[in-house]
């Protein structure tokens, strides 16, 4: 004759099993948090687009053209604390283009129109060159070509734009196609604390 488990036995097994699952989850989470995760990073000391004038090339578009994704995982990021909020931003306008009636260049620099310009405060129509603007990168349009990063460097700009691999978009290739194609070997596979990544 087999003994049937009592309600107390079933409840005790369920509580112990739940406790083990919770304990295992906590241990796994702490181990993952303590360990570093490897990600692709762009080394600003090597990137052509960040080192304006360091080479004879106009700009490098390997980040935009060699990623395995239809729209590269590399994006431009604006560090707002560095941005001068200029009226004529060299990363927004093609400053070599013809000047229009309003005193501003007639062409934008970004080939994908990924940079938006919004006035800060009230716009003074009598003195348009004395207004301030915020420049925002539309990540759905940006392909990481780097033209704006090159143009934002001193002496024309303040260097507030940089290229960044977006971890949420990167498919984590074993050997990144951009890293292979990069002429300066600026993409590095490096450990980063996953808590600190954005």
- Evaluate whether residue 198 is within a structural domain: no
Closest alpha carbon to 86 in 59, 115, 62? 115
- Evaluate whether residue 44 is within a structural domain: yes
**Helix/strand/coil for 184:** coil
Count structural domains, the chain: 2
Specify whether the CB–CB gap between 156 and 33 falls below 8 A. no
198 residues of the chain, pLDDT tens digit each: 457 778 777 677 667 767 555 555 554 444 444 445 778 888 877 887 665 555 555 667 888 899 999 999 999 999 988 888 888 899 999 999 999 988 889 999 999 999 999 999 998 888 877 889 999 999 999 999 888 988 888 888 888 898 889 888 888 777 789 989 988 888 888 886 654 434
Closest alpha carbon to 72 in 192, 176, 198? 176
Specify whether the CB–CB gap between 194 and 32 falls below 8 A. yes
93 and 138 housed in the same domain? yes
Q: What does the pLDDT read at residue 107? A: 96
Q: Is the pTM of this model over 0.85?
A: no
Range of the domain at 132: 35-192
3 and 46 housed in the same domain? no
């Amino acid at each position: 004759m087999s003994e049937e488990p009592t309600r107390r036995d079933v409840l005790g097994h369920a509580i112990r099993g739940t406790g083990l699952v919770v304990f295992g989850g906590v241990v796994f989470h702490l181990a993952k948090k303590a360990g570093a995760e490897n990600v692709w990073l762009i080394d600003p000391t090597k990137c052509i687009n960040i080192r304006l004038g360091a080479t004879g090339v106009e700009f490098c578009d390997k980040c935009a053209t060699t990623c395995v994704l239809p729209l590269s995982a590399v994006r431009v990021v604006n560090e707002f604390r560095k941005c001068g909020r200029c009226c004529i931003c060299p990363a927004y306008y093609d400053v070599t283009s013809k000047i229009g009636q309003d005193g501003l260049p007639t062409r934008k620099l970004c080939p994908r129109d990924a940079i938006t310009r919004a006035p800060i405060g009230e716009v003074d129509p009598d003195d348009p060159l004395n207004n301030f603007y915020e420049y925002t990168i539309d990540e759905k349009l940006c392909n990481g070509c780097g033209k704006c990063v090159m143009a934002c460097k001193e002496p024309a700009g303040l260097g507030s734009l940089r290229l960044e691999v977006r971890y949420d978009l990167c498919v984590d290739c074993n050997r990144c196609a951009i890293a292979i194609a990069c002429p300066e070997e600026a993409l590095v596979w490096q450990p980063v604390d996953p808590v600190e990544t954005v």
